[in-house]
């Protein structure tokens, strides 16, 4: 198709006279241009949606790359510090084992009461009461309260408290009260020891 034939196809053509119902009777040049425009529109739309879809996929992968990089950095840090973390864990386990040794077992509690009684007598105190109270369960340990009532001088009581604090087993002192009593001082104090609750 040369230029003269295209010009001839458009001679006497008025764009306002186009009727889509009679598209089959249009000149060949008009049909060619319409097909070309329709084909271009379809191809253009396809390319546009393909590019948009690919662009969204690329954006998703970029976002995922950032997340994966953060995960990689976190895991690389853990791997780099693995030896230090293992050593720290061993130290914690060793310290925990040492603390467990300081907690009396059920069999050792009567001996602990005898030790506290001996400390009071060695300090010169008169022992009124050293009695184990009902135990209280916590999440990981059992608390064993001990009610202590003694009489003596201020210095004797100080020596007694110091002696109880020096016991190798864990014993803590709480809620003390000192009152004058017949020329002496009377002290009421609560001691607490603990044992590991292995039922958890």
- Pairwise CA distance, residues 176 & 173, whole Å: 8
- Pairwise CA distance, residues 112 & 198, whole Å: 20
pLDDT tens digits for 145-189?
A: 999 999 999 899 999 999 998 888 788 888 889 888 778 899 999
pLDDT at residue 124, rounded to an integer = 92
- Pairwise CA distance, residues 10 & 12, whole Å: 6
Q: Are 140 and 197 in contact (CB under 8 A)?
A: yes
The share of the chain scoring above pLDDT 70, in percent, equals: 78
pLDDT at residue 20, rounded to an integer = 59
**Max Cα–Cα distance, the chain, nearest Å:** 139
Task: Evaluate if residue 2 carries a pLDDT over 60.
Answer: no
pLDDT at residue 4, rounded to an integer = 54
- Pairwise CA distance, residues 33 & 20, whole Å: 14
pLDDT tens digits for 110-156?
A: 888 888 999 999 999 999 998 888 888 877 778 889 999 999 998 99
Average pLDDT, the chain: 79
């Amino acid at each position: 198709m040369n230029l003269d034939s295209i010009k001839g196809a458009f001679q006497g053509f008025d764009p306002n006279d186009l009727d889509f119902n009679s598209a089959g009777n249009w000149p060949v040049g008009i049909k060619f241009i319409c097909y070309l425009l329709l084909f271009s529109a379809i191809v253009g739309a396809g390319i546009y949606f393909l590019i948009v879809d690919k662009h969204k996929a690329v954006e998703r992968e970029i976002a995922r790359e950032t997340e994966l990089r953060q995960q990689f950095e976190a895991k690389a840090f853990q791997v780099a510090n693995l030896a230090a973390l293992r050593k720290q864990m061993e130290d914690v386990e060793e310290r925990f084992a040492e603390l467990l040794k300081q907690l009396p077992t059920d069999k050792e509690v009567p001996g602990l009461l005898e030790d506290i009684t001996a400390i009071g007598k060695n300090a010169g105190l008169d022992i009124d009461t050293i009695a184990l109270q009902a135990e209280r369960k916590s999440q990981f340990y059992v608390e064993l309260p001990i009610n202590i009532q003694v009489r003596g001088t201020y210095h004797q009581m100080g020596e007694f408290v110091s002696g109880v604090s020096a016991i190798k087993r864990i014993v803590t002192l709480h809620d003390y009260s000192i009152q004058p009593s017949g020329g002496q001082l009377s002290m009421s104090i609560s001691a607490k020891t603990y044992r590991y609750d292995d039922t958890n």
